[in-house]
Amino acid sequence: MAPEFLLAATGFAALLGLIALRCPVGLAMLLVGAGGYMWIVDTAILLNYLKTTPWHLFANYTLSVIPLFILMGALAERGGLARDLFAAANALVGHRPGGMAMSVIGACACFGAVCGSSVATTATFGRAALPELRRYGYDPGLATGTIAVGGTLGILIPPSVILVVYAISTEQNIAKLFMAALVPGVLAMLLYILAIALVARWRPSLAPAAARPAGPEMQVAMLNAIPVLLIAVVVVGGIYGGVFTPTESAAIGCVATLAVGVLRGTLKPRQVREALLATAETTAMIFVILLGAEVFNAFLALTSAPELLALWIGEQDVPPLGVLALLLFTYIILGAVMDELAMILLTLPIFFPVVTALDFGLASPEETAIWFGILVLVVVGIGLTAPPIGLNVFVIASLARDVPIARTYRGVLPFLGMDLIRLAICVAFPGLSLWLVRLLS
C-alpha cells in the first residue's frame, strides 16, 4: 500500500475511533486533521493555516443562507404553520383509508419548502400530527414510521441545508441544485403516498379512515394554510425564477414567516427568542463541523489520496455505474450509523473526485456534479430512517416513548422499499434530476 493511502487510512481510522468514543464529530475531524497536517508538514505551518482558514471559511457570504433557512424553519415550527398544513391536507384526504397518513406526507412536503432540516420536520409533525393519528386508531408503528419518513422530505424538498453544504463543499451552484432536487422530492412524496395506499388496502385496520369534515371546517382549514403556501411559493419560486438569490430568498422567507406568526398571534416574544436560540445552537454545530471538515480535508489533500484513488479507479475495468452503486451503498451504510452532515463532509473529498473522473454520458462535469448531489441527498434520506440508527426514527421515538422502536422500524419498511425504487429511477434516468435545471438555465 502506498504511504499516502496508509496515512489517509490511519486518519480515517483515528477519526472513526474518536466518533465511537462519543467525541463530537466536528471536534474529532478538527483534531485528526490538525494532527495529520502537523505530521506531514510542521507545527508552524499548521498554526499559520489555522490563523487564516476560519476567517476565510466563515466570511463566505454564501454560508449566511444556512442560519437564515434554519431560522425560517424554527419560526414556522413555533408559529404553528405545520399544524395548519396538516389540518388542510387532512381535510382534503383524511376521510379516505390511510388518508391521515397521506396528509402527513403531503404536509411534510409543503413544510419542507420553508424548513431545510429533516430532524426539525420530524419533531414538528411528531407534535402536530401524531396525537391525531393515534386518536383515530392508526397503528402506532405505521403512524411513527410515516412521520419519520415524512421528515426526510424536509431535506429532499428545496430549500435544503444539506444541499447548501454540498454546494459549498463542491463549489456548485446552489440554485441549480435546488432546481434539480424538486422532481426527485416530489417523486418521493408520491411514492410514500403509494406505499400508504398499498398498506391501507392490504390491512385496512392499520390505517382507518377519519371522519369527513363539514364544509365550514374544511373552508377554515384551507384558509389557514394559505399563508404558509404563499411563503413556500415565494421562497422556492423566487429562486427558480431567478428573482432572488438563495440567500435573499431565505431572508425574505424569514421576514414573511415572522410577520405571519406575529399577525396571527402565534409568535410571541418567547417563541421568537426560542427560535433564535435554536437557530444559534444549530448553526454553531454546523459551523464547527464545517471547520473540522475543512482541516481534515486539507490533511487529505496533502496526502494526495483522493486524486490517487480517483486515478486508480479510472484505470480499473469497472463500469462507471458499478462504481457509483458501490459509493451509494457506502452512503446508505454510513447514513444509518452517523450524522448525515458529518458523513457528507467526511466522504466528499474522497468520493467527489472519483465521480467527476468517470464518464456517465452527461453533457458536462457540472451536470455530473449536480446529479451526484441529488443522489447523495436521496441516500442520506434513506440513512435517516434505516436501521440500526436512523436519526429520524430516534427523534420520533423520543416523542412516542410508549411505541417500541422496533415497531417504528417495521412501520418504516414499506417506505424504505419505495426509497430504493426511487434511487434506482434517479440513477437510471439522470434527466429526471437535470430536466428542470436544463429548462430554467
Q: Tell me: the pLDDT tens digits for 110-160? A: 888 887 778 778 888 888 888 888 888 888 889 899 999 998 888 888 888
CA-nearest of 318, 336, 342 to 29 is: 342
Give the distance from CA 413 to its chain's centroid: 19
Q: What is the average pLDDT across 100-116?
A: 85
- Residue 213 is given by DSSP the state P
**Cα 212 to the center of its chain, rounded Å:** 34
Mean pLDDT for 256-274 is 89
Contact 427, 355 (CB under 8 A): no
Give the mean model confidence (pLDDT) for residues 366-374. Answer: 92
Q: How far apart are CA 330 and CA 349, in angstroms?
A: 14
How far apart CA 165 and CA 170 sit, in angstroms, is: 9
Say whether pLDDT at 1 is over 60: no
C-alpha cell at 150: 415524512
CA distance 220 to 45: 64
What percentage of the chain has pLDDT greater than the value 70?
95
**Rounded distance between C-alpha atoms, residue 200 and residue 99, angstroms:** 9
If you search the block for the grid coordinates 454564501, which residue do you land on?
62
Looking at every residue in the chain, the average pLDDT score rounds to 84
3-state secondary structure 256-273: HHHHHHHHHCCCCHHHHH
Query: Which residues, in sequence order, are CB contacts of 121 under 8 Å at separation 6+?
Result: 73, 108, 111, 112, 115, 150, 151, 152, 153, 154
Segment 348-363 shows an average pLDDT of 83
pLDDT surpassing 70 at residue 81: yes
As a whole number of angstroms, the distance between CA 179 and CA 365 comes to: 17
- Residue 258 near residue 78 (C-beta atoms within 8 A): no
Q: What is the mean pLDDT of residues 72-93?
A: 83
Note the pLDDT of residue 255: 92
Please determine, for residue 354, whether its predicted confidence score (pLDDT) is greater than 80: yes
Calculate the alpha carbon distances from 26 to 15, 23, 52, 53, 343 in Å. Answer: 10, 9, 18, 15, 11
- Band the pLDDT of 225: cuts 50, 70, 90: confident
The answer to whether the beta carbons of residues 84 and 280 sit under 8 Å apart is no
Whole-structure pTM value: 0.84
Whether the per-residue pLDDT at 314 is higher than 70: the answer is no
Nearest of 3, 17, 125, 121 to residue 400 by alpha carbon: 125
Whole-angstrom distance, CA of residue 409 vs CA of residue 15: 29
**pLDDT for the residue numbered 427:** 92
CA dihedral 157, 160, 164, 166 (to 10 degrees): -70
Better-scored residue on pLDDT, 1 or 25: 25
